[in-house]
A and B are shown apart, each in its own frame.
Chain A
Amino acid sequence: MSEIVLTSRVRLARNYEDLPFRSRISAAQGEECVQRTLEALRALPQAYTFLPLRGMEENEKKALVEAHLISPDLMEHGESGAVLVRGDQKISIMINEEDHLRIQGISAGENLDEAAENAFSIDDELQKTLSFAFDSQWGYLTACPTNTGTGLRASVMLHLPMLTLLKQMGKVNQLAAKLGLTLRGIYGEGSEAQGNLYQLSNQVTLGRTEKEIMDAVAATARQMAEMEKVFRKKAWDKDAVAFEDQLFRSYGILCNARRMPIKEFMVHWSNLRLGASMEKLPVSINTCDSLLTGVQPAHVQKAAGAALSDKEADAYRSELIRKALNDGGNS
């Protein structure tokens, strides 16, 4: 499944019962929200990094968004926002997002169970000493009623190049909508999904258990992955040379280009990952996936350790790509 599923994420929305939601919270109450969370999680055995967003450099925040450790929403509310990240980056706890807490479990490949266990462990730890807003009918209460109930969003990131190329995404979207799930492009705006990457997630949060929600997302993701595999095989059987030619062209460009804008990178990256997952290119899936985050705009600036112009950034990006593909392509 990791051929097609890049990551699995589970997030829980939680609010302290005695503090107002974001639209009415004061600065002092926002700070209280941060402090009590830190206090309650002090006893956790693993190392966490605490990152308040206030005073953080803009590029640093963007890099956290690119790594999916914080949401764009949290970045925009940097005054009181903060995040706690576990050393292995499998847990991130956003504070003062739309809800007081957004607890995120993040796992590689198709592993919603692990992501959920990690998120639940934080939920349990916090509820040992603190009380969340809860209603016996509507479950965990959230700032927006679209999240009430379990407060859980389960999502998987899927790479669907063949379904996209062969114009099957309309059908795939309908499959998701029928089950109360949505599929959206992760990179790029509007209808265009850069890198042929999609996020499948649940919309409904009330009246279904956490397990029911996760099972629906996982089962649908598996079905989409199967469809994608069928179309890959069809395309390969039809014209293997054309297929390979496309993969190797992108591989060649990524290995040799001296300037790589992000939009162009996403096109070739999609072919690179397709080739890696079909074992046609001398690159591992892991290399592809870490490259994806590692050369996003804020990561490039961060790696350079200096503010680069667009052209300089494109040049530096190509350098990072060549290095990853030449040194560790098979790791």
Chain B
Amino acid sequence: MLCEECGKNQAEVMMTTVINGESITRHLCRECLKKYESGDLQAVLAAVLSAMTAKNQTSDAVCPHCGQTYAAFQKTGMLGCAGCYQAFRKELTPLITRMQGRTQHAGRRPPVSEEEQARQTLMEDLRARMEAAVAEENFEEAARLRDELRAMTPAKEAQE
């Protein structure tokens, strides 16, 4: 039988990958196995994606931002836009975990934007004025400020 990766050389080894709790076995030649074992993530990605395709493990998810389908990603290994990460989060999670070994980013982050900074400054100001109003027993003003603060808090922060 021919190697399932390159389709050129004779397959000599069996490689088993476990993804989503299901094991996928592929027959590879020594050259392709070497590529896989070298830890080259591109090779790992290609191998896992083609194994999933072979097993018909696909998804009909489509990115609403750019129109890319998950099936197209399975073929090329390339996403269409940043929104694809959100649209295919369910499908990408096990894949990224398998490749990267970790699931949570560490390191540099974008700076907080000026708008965000302005928003935070304004909220601090409102909070101070609300506390002052409470201290002065001006409860009507305090309640108004509280509502204003609530309206400015993003849903995610409000849950925390």
Contacts and interface: CB of A to CB of B under 8 A. Distances in A.
B78 A22 contact: yes
B59 to A, nearest CB: 15
Nearest to A173: B38
Contacts of A152: 107
Contacts of A196: none
B contact patch SS = loop
Contacts of B9: none
Contacts of A294: none
B101 A145 contact: no
Nearest to B38: A182
Contact of B101 (A140, A176, A180): A180
A120 B108 CA distance: 9
Contacts of B39: 176-177, 180-182, 203
B107 A144 contact: no
A177 B38 contact: yes
A138 B101 contact: no
Interface stretch (A33-41, A104-112, A127-135, A272-280): A127-135
B40 interface: yes
Nearest to B88: A145
B20 interface: no
B81 interface: yes
A254 interface: no
A209 B106 contact: yes
A282 to B, nearest CB: 39
B105 A139 contact: yes
Interface stretch (A13-21, A45-53, A84-92): A13-21
A132 B110 contact: yes
A24 B81 contact: yes
Given A177-B39, A180-B101, A206-B96, A144 B106 contact: no
B95 interface: yes
Interface size class of A (residues with CB under 8 A): 35 or more
Contacts of A22: 78
A138, A141, A145, A173 interface centre (most CB from chain B within 10 Å): A145
A207 B79 contact: no
Given A132-B110, A134-B109, A144 B104 contact: no
Interface in A213-231: none
B104 A146 contact: no
Contacts of A173: 38
A309 interface: no
A141 B96 CA distance: 12
A77 B86 CA distance: 27
Contacts of A149: 100, 105-107
Interface string B79-110: 11110111000001001100111111111111
Contacts of B86: 135
B101 A20 contact: no
Nearest to A23: B78
A136 interface: yes
B88 to A, nearest CB: 9
Given A135-B86, A138-B105, A204-B41, 12 more contacts: A21-B79, A24-B81, A134-B110, A144-B77, A145-B99, A146-B42, A176-B39, A177-B37, A182-B40, A204-B99, A207-B100, A207-B102
Interface of A: 15, 17, 19-24, 98, 120, 123-124, 127-128, 131-141, 143-146, 148-150, 152, 173, 176-177, 180-182, 184, 203-212
25 contacts: A21-B79, A21-B81, A21-B84, A23-B80, A24-B81, A127-B111, A133-B82, A135-B82, A135-B105, A143-B79, A144-B79, A146-B42, A146-B44, A146-B77, A177-B37, A177-B38, A180-B39, A182-B40, A203-B39, A203-B41, A204-B101, A206-B96, A209-B106, A210-B107, A210-B108
